[in-house]
Structure 1
Amino acid sequence: MDGMVIIGAGESGTRAAFALREAGYSGSVTLIGAEPHPPYERPPLSKTVNGAVQMKPICAAETLDAARITYLKGLSAAELDTGAGTVGLSDGRVLRYEKLLLATGARPRRLTCPGAARALDFRTHTEAETIFSRIGPGRSVAIIGAGLIGMELASVLRGKDVSVDMIEAAPRPLGRAVPARFTEKLHARHAAEGVRFHFDRGVAAIGDDGITLTDGSLVHADLVVSAIGVLPDIALAEAAGLATGNGILTDACLRTSAPNVFAAGDCAAVAHPGGGHVRYESWRNARTQAETAARNMAGAAETFGALPWFWSDQYDLGLQVAGLPQPAHQIVLRSAAEGELEFYLDDGRLVAAAGLGNGNGLARDIKLAEMLIAAGISPSLTELADPRVNLKTLLKSARAA
């Protein structure tokens, strides 16, 4: 056996490699990455510095060497044989594995309209460099898709005095990921910054002059960016006969339907205690699932139960959401000097929280809210809404009880 093999050198795969060492695994660890770069963080791609796209390494090459992690960059897995316990690589090599982690991530959802190839994706460092090399003051960009990625990119472009139009098939931006109150505030801020929105309309075609919408109108643009979401990269797993759906299906311990094969990150759909499988797309989820999967590959039997959390920076506003807010939840609003918080209760129990404020000003409150949620408390609604009642005091009371 050739030890542990990890397919995918993004956040999840790279963190899993180090977590194996932290768990005490001493055999060989091989990390396979399709890009020609060292593993890097994706969130900073939209945050240019002096006009240049950042590449923030997850780790240095010498750190990989020190941990005895073999990194095979610029390669992809072409074939998986779970019966033989082997992975065929794009360069013809075949690796045997003791256990395998699929951390293949997600790929951009593709447009299907005429001229779709003219639209640029915004997911990798190379794609980010292409976009930012072609924009500047006075230029115009049309972004298809008003989700988190599209809205974040729009805020950066407006800061560079680039004209921005956003096309969204839904009647509002940000879909179901962001609470309605904060969606309205972010939408209003973008509009105040000069972003033009085109809701309830799809893309009929993309041409030299820009985008023709389904109502026949034309949105002029020097550059078109597609940000219509992602799909889990499950092709390798499907071809190998693994159970898949909206991702590679796993049990609560992140084990797939094949022996000794695990999955984590954007590609994994994890069994939910309430039934079905849930797939999360976030930086923290990629890390925490990777660490759980690695410990289980090393012999543990931990169930994955981390609270979902994500953030988004748009202009000087910072959004954070912990848990899964639902329309049926009871909402308690709390004002703060730095912005606003919303708490979500299910049958009296705190299950989620969200905040929108200046920069990272609400980060401490959201962290305390996460701890309150983990404690499983049913707080006083009056105290929860009162900004004079410190959340840390509520947490101490809950722990004491």
Structure 2
Amino acid sequence: MSFANAPLVIVGAGHAGGRAALTLRGEGYSGRLILIGDERHPPYERPPLSKGLLQGRVELAGYSLCDSARLAELDIEHLAGNPVKCLEPQRHRLQLADGSWLHYARLLLATGGRSRRLASAPEHLLNLLYLRTHDEALALRVVLQPGTRVVIIGGGFIGLEVASTARVLGCTVTLLEAGPRLAGRVLPEQLSSVLLERHRSQGVDVRLNVAIEAVQGTTCVESVKLVDGQLLPCDLVVVGIGMQPNTELAVAAGLEVGQGIRVDAQLRTSAPDIFAAGDVCEFRLHPQGGFQRQETWRNAEAQGRHAALNLLGGELPFDAIPGFWSDQYDWGLQIVGVIANTQPTTSRATPGGGFLLFYLDAEQRLQGACGWGLGNSVGKDIKLCERLIALHNPLSMDALADADVPLKQLLRN
């Protein structure tokens, strides 16, 4: 049976799925295009949820990829509130929650993920909140009032950005991290240290190597009890302990799944005509490299566009250089390329008390870099580092470490 005239279908209407749909129309695809999402909102970007939206500086329209009127204008069928319940790759079809079946020519899985739940916290407690969606961010914004006693569980980027925002809004903040340092899974020790110093200087009570015994309360959280017996009375608990990728649909359909939906260099899954992109996608940065997922704005944007091109018949390998940023009060952290969770090869100071860390391979070629500085002060240097990574030329460690040698000069060399 031929499915050539069936629609292109995107399951997941977040950043990656939305970008893919818009790219398909931008590339001239005029056939039927269906975008299926769990949320009632049009596709949007997630970084503002823990920053601008919580602070009341931006609303949904400010970080949406488009609005409903634009989706209609582009003839993109946006199905909300009728999620996919079953996928049958052999028959090129899927079933929606209402029982209806839909055939597809090609399919993109951009199902994203959901917040990991805290096992020791009863789900029914009213002031126990997570932050992954627009609606969850709105619920959190309402209760972040001056004087509110907030306990944040998790010292990764969601926890740290919520802590920063909560302090700006006048809350009392205690942040609990199970590990020995902040964002320890993804950041080198030097960056973890400056983050710790920054948050403590802003009045956040950061506690490392902490184990939680119980989140206590009847209808609302009243306190968090630590294993060492300490009791932390609070008005609000925010849990930020990572993301659980939504792989259930792929697993049930028999697709190859590891920590995410596994794809080849073209973002194609183990099933014909099915691709994956965004937070749920597990891919190799290099043919010989290990599988990884990237939960970043940049990855959702790049893979959404890339998957769209390959849905149209392209055979383009995905080789984008990864990158990430985070705002912490009035300071910024930026990462480009691959940084090992080890000591950097070399570093340099930047004006205003910031620094750059460089990671080189055995042939002295730049693999990754990260920077810390006031505002966006390291932005230009990180962009130059991205170009140095792409060039793949051996570099002088002494020149990289010398703040008097502009990075642009290394590009010319």
> TM-score of the superposition, structure 2-length normalised?
0.92
* Alpha-carbon distance in structure 1 between the residues aligned to 2:113 and 2:336: 22
* Alpha-carbon distance in structure 2 between the residues aligned to 1:273 and 1:306: 13
Displacement of 1:93 after TM fit?
Answer: 2.6
* 1:214 matched to 2:227: yes
Counterpart selection for 1:239 from 252, 275, 290: 252
Cα contact 1:234–1:247 (8 A) shared by 2: yes
Aligned length: 397
- Give 3-state SS (helix, strand or coil) of 1:48's partner: helix
Which position in structure 2 is the counterpart of 1:41? Answer: 45
* 1:92 matched to 2:99: yes
* Alpha-carbon distance in structure 2 between the residues aligned to 1:155 and 1:300: 43
Cα contact 2:53–2:137 (8 A) shared by 1: no
Displacement of 1:228 after TM fit?
Answer: 0.2
Residues 330 and 169 of structure 1: CA distance in aligned 2, closer, same or farther (over 3 Å): closer
Counterpart selection for 1:335 from 324, 349, 356: 349
* 1:54 matched to 2:69: no
Cα contact 2:310–2:316 (8 A) shared by 1: yes
Cα contact 1:165–1:196 (8 A) shared by 2: yes
Counterpart selection for 1:27 from 21, 28, 31: 31
Displacement of 1:308 after TM fit?
Answer: 1.2
Displacement of 1:74 after TM fit?
Answer: 2.6
The CA RMSD measured in Å over matched residues stands at 1.7
Counterpart selection for 1:359 from 362, 369, 375: 375
* Alpha-carbon distance in structure 2 between the residues aligned to 1:75 and 1:362: 44
Is 341-350 or 324-333 further displaced after alignment?
324-333
Residues 232 and 149 of structure 1: CA distance in aligned 2, closer, same or farther (over 3 Å): same
* 1:292 matched to 2:306: yes
Give the counterpart letter for 1:127 in structure 2. E
* 1:304 matched to 2:304: no
Cα contact 2:110–2:278 (8 A) shared by 1: yes
Cα contact 1:3–1:29 (8 A) shared by 2: yes
* Alpha-carbon distance in structure 2 between the residues aligned to 1:196 and 1:236: 41
- Give 3-state SS (helix, strand or coil) of 1:5's partner: strand
Give the counterpart letter for 1:353 in structure 2. A
Cα contact 2:327–2:333 (8 A) shared by 1: yes
Counterpart selection for 2:136 from 123, 127, 139: 127
For residues 178-217 of structure 1, the C-alpha deviation after alignment (integer angstroms, 9 at most, x for no partner) is 2211110110010111111222122221113211112221
Is 127-136 or 369-378 further displaced after alignment?
127-136
Residues 320 and 231 of structure 1: CA distance in aligned 2, closer, same or farther (over 3 Å): same
For residues 264-322 of structure 1, the C-alpha deviation after alignment (integer angstroms, 9 at most, x for no partner) is 10001013422431111101001111111111110111111111100000100100011
Cα contact 2:189–2:343 (8 A) shared by 1: no
Q: Percent identity?
A: 45
Counterpart selection for 1:259 from 272, 279, 290: 272
Is 234-243 or 56-65 further displaced after alignment?
56-65
* 1:82 matched to 2:73: no
Displacement of 1:325 after TM fit?
Answer: 1.1
Is 8-17 or 73-82 further displaced after alignment?
73-82
Cα contact 2:55–2:141 (8 A) shared by 1: no
Displacement of 1:92 after TM fit?
Answer: 2.7
> TM-score of the superposition, structure 1-length normalised?
0.95
For residues 320-355 of structure 1, the C-alpha deviation after alignment (integer angstroms, 9 at most, x for no partner) is 011121145652211222421111111111110100
Provide structure 2 residue ranges, at least 5 long, that are not aligned to the other structure.
Answer: none
* Alpha-carbon distance in structure 1 between the residues aligned to 2:21 and 2:344: 41
Give the counterpart letter for 1:69 in structure 2. I
Displacement of 1:251 after TM fit?
Answer: 0.9
Which position in structure 1 is the counterpart of 2:206? Answer: 197
- Give 3-state SS (helix, strand or coil) of 1:245's partner: coil
* 1:142 matched to 2:151: yes
Which position in structure 1 is the counterpart of 2:333? Answer: 319
Cα contact 1:321–1:353 (8 A) shared by 2: yes
Displacement of 1:84 after TM fit?
Answer: 1.3
Which position in structure 2 is the counterpart of 1:376? Answer: 392
Moved over 4 A (4+): 327-330
Counterpart selection for 1:350 from 350, 363, 366: 366
Counterpart selection for 2:70 from 63, 69, 73: 63
Residues 53 and 124 of structure 1: CA distance in aligned 2, closer, same or farther (over 3 Å): farther
Give the counterpart letter for 2:391 in structure 1. A
